[in-house]
Structures are given as C-alpha cells and as structure tokens.
Structure 1
C-alpha cells in the first residue's frame, strides 16, 4: 500500500507539473489537460448559450478558474498520498491526541499546510520528508505566482483582439455609411490602414497561439466580434490586392496572408475542421462565438434567442 500510494501521488504531481509547464512556459502554450478542461467547459456553456446566450461571456473566466483549481487539487492530493502511509511513523505531532492521526483527511490537512506554507504542528522525522515538504511549499508559491502572471498576460491579448475587431467594424460602417469604396476612392490612405490591420491580425494570431485560453473569452458584443469581422477583412484584402497601386497591393497581400494564417490556426486548434475552406471556417467560427457576420455589403445577424431579445 505504501508503494501504491507513493507512486500514485508522484504520478498526480508530475501530471500537474507537466501541464503547468506546457500551458505557462512552453512557447505553444498548450497543456493537454488544460485544453481538455477548457474545451469541456466551453461546450457546456455553448449548449446553455443556445437558450441564454449571455452566459457565454463566463466561459473563459470559468475555464481559467477550473484549470487552476485542477492544478492545485492534483498537487495537493498527490502530496497527500505520499504522506498518507507515513503519518504515524515518520511525522511528529505536537498537539495532544494527534498521535493517532493516519487518515486521508489528516494527510490532506498536512499537505495543504505545506502547500500554502502554513505550519499546523506536524513535523517530519526524516530529512527527505522535510525536503519534500519544503519542495511542496516552493511548488505552491510558484503555482500562485505563475497563475497570477498567466491571468495578467491574457488581458493584453483580449485587448488586441477587441481593437482589431473595432477597427474592422468601424471601417465597414464608414464605407457603408458614406457609400465609399476606400480602396478605389482613397488608395493612398488605405495603404496604411490595410497594412496596419494586417500587422495587427498577424500579431494577434501569434498571441492566441501562445495563450489559446483566450479563444474561450467572449465579450458579449456579437455585432463587433472579430469572429464576425473576418469575412470583411478577407474581402478587404482581396480588393486591395487587386488595386493598381503597388503599395496597396502589397498591403492587401499582407492582410490576406494574416487572415489566412489566423483562420488556419483557429481551424486546426479549436474548430477541428479542414483548413482548406476558408468560408466554412469563418462561418463555423462566427457561429461558435455567436457573432454577427460582417460582409462588405451587409451584416448577417446571429440568430438570437427570444429570451435574449426580451432581455
């Protein structure tokens, strides 16, 4: 039983540490367990959102909380299993009546004390257990700081995504409102605008690859969501690429390549669909994010439920 508890405990700790490393420190930022947890929570919220669409804005925060809780729970329970068969033999308890401690709850109490660096009156008699408890305290502190850093790193990505979406929707509105084709009527000015948006989309694609959890954050603004603005950006790049102005053609190619790369990343990593049909990817992305599709000549509203309209 000692060997089984120890091996199982070590396995749980290693599983948590591996997922933390893959999610927070690996350049791709993808931990298998974290991805699975976030996807399950997203699917649950997405199903509920078919009736109450506003709940979808809580999918991202809930996913982050669930992932961090999973890491803490695996680490906590893993060390508890290591301590469990050694409580009565290898630990000294200062409080009266603690000599008979030996249950799983006692082991968990001992473990959480080390994890949050709080002394609870029990001391290890063996040096390797003292080192192990110190290691657990280091892991607990590292997990806290890494989680806070992760949270702070996510919000710039969300801000970038929102900025790109706002730029696209404002340009679309301006073209329709003024009945102007910016590529045809203002090619010199359009060159800088198109290139700037293309650069922003390319940067956003790399940021989302580093922090894939941001995919599950929805702002609750379907009319200005990036998922719905991508068709307009792709069409804008095609118009710019067909221009007779060399600089504008170059900017259009940059924007088109950035949108294509972004769509391929979304298709492979999140939608799990073929990356060949860009139109199908954009429709699937907008549908999953509950976003209005923005085209050059019109906007296709997402079909909101009656309860949302009433609200």
Structure 2
C-alpha cells in the first residue's frame, strides 16, 4: 500500500512535467492543463463589467496561475511520495522537533525545502532510493524556475511582433494609399513585407498559443481591431495590373487565410470565412472591426 501511494505521488509529478513540456517545448505547444486554465480565466474575465481593464490582466495572471499550478503539483506529488515512509525512512537533526509533527506536514515541508533547493538539512532521507530521488526533486525545481524565466522571455517578443504589425497596419490605414499607389513596385514590396509579418504572427499563435490571451490595449496596437484592413490591401493587390503586385496580393491573402485558420481552429471555433473569423477575433478581444 505504501508503494501505491508513492507511485500516485510520482504520477502527479509526471502530469505536471508533461504539461510543462507540452506548453513550453513541444512543437505544437498543446499544453493540456495550462491551456484549460488560460481559457477559463479568459472566459471568466469576459463576464465582468469594465471588461477591457479586467481582460488586460488575464495574460500575466494566467501565466502566474499556471506556474503556481506546476509548482504546487510538483510539491504535493513529491510530498505524497515521501509521506508513507515518514518518519522511519528519514534522519532528523539533533534537537529537531520535526519528527513529532504529523507525517504529512513533514513530507510537505521536506518537499518545499527540496524543490526550492534550500537544503536546510534538518530532515534528510535515510534509505538509498530516497537519497536518489530527493536530489532529483531539486533538479526539477531548478528546471521549473528556468522554464518560467524562459517562458516570459519567449512570450513578450511574440507580443511585440503582433503589436508592431497592428501599428503598421494602422499607419497604412491613416495614410490611405490608393489602388494606383499600390499598383507599383513599391506596392508589391509593401504587400510582400506585410505577408511576411502576418506569417510570423501566425507562427507565434502556433508556438505561443498563450499569447492569444494577452490583451493588446485600446490604441492602434490591437491586431484584433485592424487585421481586417490587411484583407482590404490584399484585395487591392490582387486587382492590380502589375503581375508582381498581384503575386504579392495573393501572398498576403494566403497568409491572412492561414492566420484565420489557426485562430479558428485553436481559439474561436466559428467554422466561418476569414472575414467572419477576424470579426469574431475582434469581438473576443472587446474590439470592433476597424473599417477602412
């Protein structure tokens, strides 16, 4: 029975590590538990009044919640591993009153100290197999800290790329280039560069799905509000007389369609056309679609 309890604790640890791996390092970035937490917080925030202010906190709060979930699951899992063998399989420092505490409390304390790599030493594993897995928990704690820092450093460049594209589209909308101005070599280069940026954002939504749950604010940095204007530019390009402009227009239209497919498959689930998906994207982020 003791070994079954320890195996259950090991299973909790593996569930947490699997979710961490799939969230941060798996090519498809399909974290199970983390994705559920982020989606639940996003939907909950949409129900509040003053929604934009609340939604703006969802992304950072969701990341903190997910990291706390990982850490808590690891700590509890390892405590359950220790629990059936406490205190007889552990050595206590002279004068320590830890052995007089409930076994579960001592197990949680040891797990917290170990995963935080504090190494206080007042409780130490005595049996051989426990002496091997206890340092392993410290390594997992260090990996968790490193993964958290890496996650933050990865997500904010993705948000920057998305907001740069939004601001660029807003500037183009304000400049209001005519179809004749786009029907030129410069217009072809412009549409081609926009297609490249749209593809980058599409990849970001694939590899950093949690970026979707970050609100872009109420100014021109909101891609949800302005992405429809890119479709207007693509249409102008496709109707141009120069072949190179038509090609660039086709590239931009294809990139936008691909982006809408990713948004719909992973977040919105409308099953509609790209225009309908982008309209739902704007609504989901509390923004109306910007008209050209």
TM range (shorter): over 0.9
Task: Give yes or no for contact 2:182–2:245 (8 Å, CA) kept in 1.
Answer: no
SS of 2:88's partner is helix
How many residues align? The count is 289
Query: 5+ residue gaps in structure 2?
Result: none
Residue aligning to 2:234: 237
Note the 1:25-44 alignment, pairs <5 A.
25-44=25-44
For residues 220 and 162 of structure 2, what CA distance do their matches in structure 1 show? 14
1:277 corresponds to 2:281: no
After superposition, give the CA deviation of every residue in 1:232-276 in whole Å (9 maximum; x if it has no partner).
1112101101111111111111111111100110000011221x4
Aligned alpha-carbon RMSD (Å): 1.4
TM-score (normalised: structure 2): 0.95
- Counterpart CA distance in 2 for 1:59 and 1:98 is 40
2:87 maps to 88
1:65 to 2:61 alignment: no
Question: Residue 89 of structure 1 aligns to a residue in which SS?
Answer: coil
| Equivalence for 1:144 | 145
2:45–2:51: 8 Å Cα contact kept in structure 1? no
| 1:187 CA drift (Å) | 2.3
Which residue of structure 2 aligns with residue 160 of structure 1? 161
Structure 2 counterpart SS, 1:203: helix
* Corresponding residue for residue 302 of structure 1: none
**Structure 1 residue matching 2:124: 3-state secondary structure:** strand
SS at match of 1:107: helix
> Conserved in 2, the CA contact under 8 Å of 1:10 and 1:82?
yes
- 1:309 matched to which residue of 2? none
Give the whole-Å Cα distance in 1 for the aligned partners of 2:267 and 2:182: 37
Could you say which residue in structure 1 is the equivalent of 2:194? 197
Give 1:277 deviation, angstroms.
1.9
| 1:24 matches 2:28 | no
Contact kept, 8 Å, 2:115 with 2:140, in 1: the verdict is yes
Corresponding position of 1:303 = none
Aligned to 2:173: 172
Structure 1 residue runs of 5 or longer lacking an equivalent are: 297-311
Residue 286 of structure 2 is aligned to residue 290 of structure 1: yes
Greater shift, 14-23 or 218-227, is seen at 218-227
Q: Deviations over 1:266-311 (max 9, x none)?
A: 000011221x422221111100111231222xxxxxxxxxxxxxxx
Aligned 8 A contact 1:92 1:125 in 2:
yes
Q: Distance in 2 between matches of 1:268 and 1:192?
A: 30
Q: Report if the CA contact (8 A) 2:23-2:30 is conserved.
A: yes
Contact 1:87 1:102 (8 Å CA) reproduced = no
